[in-house]
């Protein structure tokens, strides 16, 4: 079946605050969801997307942080950070669920991540640069955490209000 672009939930939404359940059965339905999420991410456009952002509360993320050249669509079921570097990196992050707003977030500069791939095989890999930032941002989504949760309360509240306004405007059409 053809890949479908899914609507992306906008913050605030209770589904973006939930702890997502591990994937226990890698079904064709979940593989189709992963393909639809990649299509949705490229269309947005974005460099990552987590299942709760399309309203599915399972531990699934997709990413492609290649800016130029051959795309690297990456699908991870049950991703987990196995180890993190002591050195940190600051990146001005955005989120497709908090449109048009950006803020600096400090995270470990490199991480080792384990996950299950589309064929059901366990994988492990070290990530650095934008990939490291993105994979941590996406895994946070699976734990109900948004990048604004790293900010001071005043700034978080301001960004939440802006997002709420944008959500209302989009709903009105
Ligand atoms: O999870 C998401 O909401 C996707 C988000 C991922 C992300 C961005 C920046 C740092 C960490 C994680 C995005 O993709 S926001 C859009 C974006 O960053 C982008 C869009 C087009 C070209 C390049 C970047
Ligand atoms: Zn996000």
Residues with Cβ within 8 Å of residue 110, at least 6 apart in sequence:
84, 85, 87, 126, 127, 128, 132
The mean pLDDT value for 140-168 works out to: 98
Average pLDDT, the chain: 97
Q: Is 25 helix (H, G, I), strand (E, B) or coil?
A: coil
134 lines ligand 1 (CB under 6 A): yes
pLDDT of residue 133: 98
Contact 62, 38 (CB under 8 A): yes
| Average pLDDT estimate for 12-18 | 98
Integer-rounded Cα radius of gyration of the chain? 16
Number of Cβ within a 10 Å radius of residue 148: 21
pLDDT digits (tens, 9 = 90+) for 39-75: 999 999 999 999 999 999 999 999 999 989 999 999 9
Give the pLDDT band (50/70/90) at residue 13: very high
Q: Is 93 in the pocket of ligand 1 (CB under 6 A)?
A: yes
Per-residue burial over 97-122, b = 16 or more CB atoms within 10 Å of its CB, e = otherwise = bbbebebebebbbbbebebbeeeeee
Asked whether the predicted pLDDT for residue 2 surpasses 90, the reply is: no
Whether 3 shows a pLDDT value over 90: the answer reads: no
Q: Examine the pLDDT at 1 and tell me if it is beyond 90.
A: no
CA of 45 from ligand 1 middle (Å) equals: 8
Distance 1 CA to ligand 1 centre (A): 27
Could you read off the pLDDT of 84-112 as tens digits, one per residue? 999 999 999 999 999 999 999 999 999 99
Could you give the maximum distance between any two Cα atoms of the chain, in Å? Answer: 46
Which residues are CB-contacts of 162 (< 8 A; sequence separation ≥ 6)? 101
- 80, 93, 138, 169: the catalytic one is 138
| 47 touches ligand 1 (CB under 6 Å) | yes
How many Å apart are CA 171 and CA 136, to the nearest integer? Answer: 30
Determine if ligand 1 sits within 6 Å of the CB of residue 97.
yes
pLDDT of residue 173: 84
Delineate the domains of the chain, giving CATH numbers in brackets.
14-172 (3.90.45.10)
Mean pLDDT, range 116-136, rounded to an integer:
98
User: How far is C-alpha 27 from the geometric centre of its chain's CA atoms?
Assistant: 21
pLDDT at 25: 94
pTM of the predicted protein model? 0.98
Give yes or no for residue 136 having a pLDDT over 90: yes
Percent over 90 (pLDDT), the chain: 97
Q: Contact, 115 vs 79, CB < 8 A?
A: yes
Average pLDDT (118-144) is 98
Mutate which of 47, 49, 60 for ligand 1? The one with the most ligand atoms within 8 Å of its CB, which is 47
Active site residue 169: no
């Amino acid at each position: 079946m053809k890949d479908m672009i899914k609507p992306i939930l906008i913050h605030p939404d209770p589904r973006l605050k939930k702890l997502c359940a591990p994937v226990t059965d890698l079904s064709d339905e979940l593989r189709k969801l992963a393909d639809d999420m990649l299509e949705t991410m490229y269309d947005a456009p974005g460099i990552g997307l987590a299942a709760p952002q399309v309203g599915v509360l399972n531990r699934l993320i997709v990413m492609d942080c290649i800016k130029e050249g051959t795309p690297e669509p990456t699908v991870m079921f049950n991703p987990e950070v196995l180890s993190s570097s002591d050195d940190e990196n600051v990146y001005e992050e955005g989120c497709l669920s908090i449109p048009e707003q950006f803020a600096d977030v400090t995270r470990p500069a490199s991480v080792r991540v384990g996950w299950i791939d589309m064929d059901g095989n366990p994988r492990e890999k070290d990530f650095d640069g934008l990939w490291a930032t993105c994979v941590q941002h996406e895994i946070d989504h699976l734990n109900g955490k948004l990048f604004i949760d790293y900010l001071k309360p005043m700034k978080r509240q301001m960004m939440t209000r802006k997002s709420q306004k944008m959500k209302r405007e989009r709903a009105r059409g």
